[in-house]
Structure 1
Amino acid sequence: MTSTPPHQSILDKPFVLDLFAGPGGLDVAGHRLGVPSLGIEWDKSACLTRYAAGLDTLHADVSAVRRESFESLPPEINVLAGGPPCQTYSVAGKGTGRKALEEVKKFIDRLMAGDSDEEIDKELQNLSDPRTALVLEPLRYAIQATRSPNRGHRPYDVIVLEQVPAVRALWDRYAEVLQEIGLPDGTTYKVVVDVLATETYGVPQTRSRAVLIARREGLGAPSLPEATHRAYEAREWNRRNGGVAAPTNQPTLYDAEVPEPGEGPAEDDGLEHWTSMGDALAEPVGTHPGRRTPFLIRSNYGSSGIPGRRGVRTDRQPATTVTGRISRFVVFESVGDRHPDVVREGPRFSMNEAGMLQSFPPDYPWSGKAQAQQVGNAVPPLFGAHLLSAALGLPAPTPVTMRKPWVPATEEQRAKLRSHGCGTADDCTARCPRPE
């Protein structure tokens, strides 16, 4: 087995195919690392954001591309990445995917055994929620690559996947079959799987993700990205500062002394303090004017309709998991210097700020409809950059990498990207997926 020296990419020219690409989390990560990518995205509004950001995109259904136009994909793609839709696996969803985990594992075994796509597609239609089957698409793309004449039947060199923690069981099964059984052509991989906390990589929010990194046999064993920041421990925080009560008619910001960054145990662990909302939003950058501190937020979920049960955090803490409800979070700020502990409701997070809490660069050009949902569904770019760096043997990124304001595409560039992604420079065409 060969080993890769630190900070030397295992691939001469990495090129990423990003499945279920969303508004561009992994693609932004690749851009900051100097790694080109092509994203496949079904949602029209997410594609509009991608075009505005200057990201190469196919407005298409991932499954349809695999079945009908795989041979049109650039043959030089050598990295497969993606985060299949998580609604049916998420603890916030109805759980149909979790109930189907064992059934999906059986489909994984059948795919590796070389069963026909037509037969498998027919049986997948019996799943109670068709989105559950989308978690199989990365594996089906990996297999299809070995059958592609356009690629010379060449397998992908690297695979990087992420999902909600509930999908860990499927990634473990992916790892087993990729290492022990191999693709139908005999290609095997070295694989690592784990659940990682995004705040330990500098993302200013607490968000857990099940990740898989695989390298084709002969390219060296992959490793998980090393944490750069300390984990946020809610119990420790509440123990040290007495907790933060949910705002009432006259809330106060800090009911007890809050530890400053760097205080507390594990000061000599070599890790940076986790990034707070204030760290991400307080200072002006690009067109972001800076968010007044101190402030606290009250989330819009987990409350069962009872305001007192809603999650509350201050600007000195990371955000709770950013979801499509981020635009509903209520923000409270101090009245002023004379009464710093008395707060009033302030302006809610802008899409620019919501994106920055996901570690998107300032001034990222959110476009189309349901922008908050786009933000919440995205892979945090800083976290994605750590995953890609670990997978490819590149230097780990820093939060400063993502702080540089994003320069949107020109109208001419958008038209060119849309012509490639949709078929015309100013609209969707018959080849684009329809919402229904």
Structure 2
Amino acid sequence: MTSSDAAAFHLEVPYILDLFAGPGGLDVAAHMLDVPSLGIEWDKDACDTRYAAGLKTWHADVSEVRRNRFHELPSGLNVLAGGPPCQTYSVAGNGAGRKALDKVEKLIHELVAGVGEKEIDEELKKLGGDGRTALVLEPLRYAIKALDCENRDKRPFDVIVLEQVPAVKALWQVYKEALETGLPREDGTRVRYKVAEVKTLHTEAYGVPQTRRRTILIARLDKHPAPPLPAPTHHTFNPHKPEQGGPEEKQTALPVDGTTVLLEPWVSMERVLTSRKGPFEIVSNYGSGGDPKKRGIRTYRQPSFTVTGKVSRNAVRRHPDGPALDPDRLTIPEAGILQTFPPDYPWDGGDRSQQVGNAVPPLFGMHVLAAALSLPLPPEEKLRGSWGRLDPKSAEYAQLRTDGCKAPDGCGPDCPEPEGQSAPSSSSDSSRPRTGASARRSAK
């Protein structure tokens, strides 16, 4: 894939539909690229943050929208993006999704073969569990649904971008095969896609000041040039050789797709957490092999651990070379900065730790979307500028909620049932793990 091939691809007006949109990581990335987006998000807390941030949002269940409201989606949506909930596939989860991989793979093949929605739903019921495992099929079901939707003139999505934890790589490979084989229309014809290599990427290789791995799938309609993967811009971090690739090293040349790129050092916490004075170190909230006595430690001169939904439990303590610290926990704005959200991003609603931990790092999202859409990357400093909070009494805020909830100041008739969802917005953050339906369905 050459740079000229990538440059040949152009969407007149890219417009992203972000499934499982969370508090807005991918939408912030789209905003930085001047691309409009619409997010669908089940969790009320995340929607509160999205409305405060001024992001277009449907507070809705992704599956319910596909079944009953697909025709209401704006007809101009031409980029499908999503990161389905991953706990059942994650190493940190209970493994139900991993055990069901073969069954889910079978369902992907059945969808591509043209098996109807009702039949697929009946088979999904047999999987049992809390429903999250089945959600990995939703992007494919949306892509197929678009092919026979009269409201969008049966027009397929031009681009599909998916991200997940590395444990889902095998399913993304099956997705790749399905998209290349072709998705079925009702008239028996097929719509085919070109798909980039499914690959697990390190977010610190794109300037994110934390070590986090995500497996990416990028596809374009067969009439377009094949998509590239985003080229790395920074070194990866090796915890066994923590000095390697760090600020003390010079730029390093790396061959990528026939060209040479210069890799910058990975980004340390010290560089971005500028409000913390003096040396410090972070103690992970989880231990190696489940042993809390073996919790990892990163210094201020290294990238952080993966920001998770329990990030507020990460202790910040005095580095042996420095003074005592206050506060002794990462704050929600600090966790957001480690995720590369703007410093003043308006986190709202409850369980903000979970929101931050579930989000796609916007800087990483910028690289992925820019590669998928062949757009130039804006300077990273743009993400460090002010974002601001939308006035909840403003007409713009009321319109966002009316569009997303069909009510200007609260949940409307099409919003998910309130059972299991979190309490109304408050100024404090709850760091306790969420239970019930909200935890089961909302997290990525």
TM-score, structure 2 normalization? 0.87
- Counterpart of 2:338, as a letter, is L
- Counterpart of 1:152, as a letter, is D
- Counterpart of 1:98, as a letter, is R
Q: Secondary structure at the match of 1:299?
A: strand
Q: Which residue pairs with 1:273 in the alignment?
A: 265
Looking at structure 1, the residues matched to 9 and 330 of structure 2 have their Cα atoms a distance apart, in angstroms, of 38
Q: Which residue pairs with 1:432 in the alignment?
A: 415
Q: Which residue pairs with 1:405 in the alignment?
A: 386
Q: Which residue pairs with 1:417 in the alignment?
A: 400
Contact residue 48 and residue 348 of structure 2 kept, 8 A? yes
Q: Secondary structure at the match of 1:17?
A: strand
Q: Secondary structure at the match of 1:69?
A: helix
Q: Deviations over 1:197-223 (max 9, x none)?
A: 000000110000011000001110101
Matched, 1:321 2:302: no
User: What is the 5 A alignment of 1:256-295?
Assistant: 261-263=247-249, 267-269=252-254, 270-282=262-274, 290-295=275-280
Looking at structure 2, the residues matched to 166 and 310 of structure 1 have their Cα atoms a distance apart, in angstroms, of 23
Q: Which residue pairs with 2:117 in the alignment?
A: 117
Contact residue 279 and residue 323 of structure 2 kept, 8 A? no
Looking at structure 2, the residues matched to 395 and 178 of structure 1 have their Cα atoms a distance apart, in angstroms, of 26
Q: Secondary structure at the match of 2:106?
A: helix
Percent identity between the two aligned chains: 55
Alpha-carbon deviation of 1:268? 4.6
Looking at structure 2, the residues matched to 2 and 10 of structure 1 have their Cα atoms a distance apart, in angstroms, of 15
Contact residue 386 and residue 397 of structure 1 kept, 8 A? no
Q: Which residue pairs with 2:424 in the alignment?
A: none
* Cα-Cα RMSD: 2.1
Work out which of the residue numbers 202, 205, 211 in structure 2 matches 1:200.
205
Alpha-carbon deviation of 1:397? 3.9
User: What is the 5 A alignment of 1:45-194?
Assistant: 45-129=45-129, 130-184=131-185, 185-192=189-196, 193-194=198-199
Change over 3 Å in CA distance of 1:380–1:430 after alignment to 2:
same
Q: Which residue pairs with 2:16 in the alignment?
A: 16
Q: Deviations over 1:376-422 (max 9, x none)?
A: 00111111111100000001344212111212223322221111111
Looking at structure 1, the residues matched to 350 and 323 of structure 2 have their Cα atoms a distance apart, in angstroms, of 36
Work out which of the residue numbers 300, 313, 318 in structure 2 matches 1:333.
318
Q: Secondary structure at the match of 1:209?
A: strand
Q: Which residue pairs with 2:367 in the alignment?
A: 386
Contact residue 210 and residue 338 of structure 2 kept, 8 A? yes
Work out which of the residue numbers 233, 238, 244 in structure 1 matches 2:238.
233
Q: Deviations over 1:219-276 (max 9, x none)?
A: 1010100000000011111xx69xxxxxxxxxxxxxxxxx961327x74551000011
Alpha-carbon deviation of 1:140? 0.2
Change over 3 Å in CA distance of 1:260–1:113 after alignment to 2:
closer
Looking at structure 2, the residues matched to 236 and 353 of structure 1 have their Cα atoms a distance apart, in angstroms, of 26
Q: Where does the alignment leave 5 or more consecutive residues of structure 1 unmatched?
A: 242-258, 283-289
Alpha-carbon deviation of 1:300? 1.0
Q: Which residue pairs with 1:308 in the alignment?
A: 293
Q: Secondary structure at the match of 2:178?
A: helix
Alpha-carbon deviation of 1:362? 1.0
Alpha-carbon deviation of 1:301? 1.0
Change over 3 Å in CA distance of 1:150–1:316 after alignment to 2:
same
Contact residue 192 and residue 221 of structure 2 kept, 8 A? yes
Matched, 1:351 2:355: no
Q: Deviations over 1:89-140 (max 9, x none)?
A: 0000001101111110100011111111011111101113211000000000
Q: Secondary structure at the match of 1:312?
A: strand
TM-score, structure 1 normalization? 0.88
Looking at structure 2, the residues matched to 224 and 293 of structure 1 have their Cα atoms a distance apart, in angstroms, of 38
Q: Where does the alignment leave 5 or more consecutive residues of structure 2 unmatched?
A: 255-261, 421-436, 438-444
Change over 3 Å in CA distance of 1:6–1:102 after alignment to 2:
closer
Alpha-carbon deviation of 1:38? 0.3
Change over 3 Å in CA distance of 1:410–1:343 after alignment to 2:
closer
Q: Deviations over 1:290-332 (max 9, x none)?
A: 1113110101112567543011001111111100111011101
Change over 3 Å in CA distance of 1:341–1:50 after alignment to 2:
closer
- Counterpart of 1:428, as a letter, is C
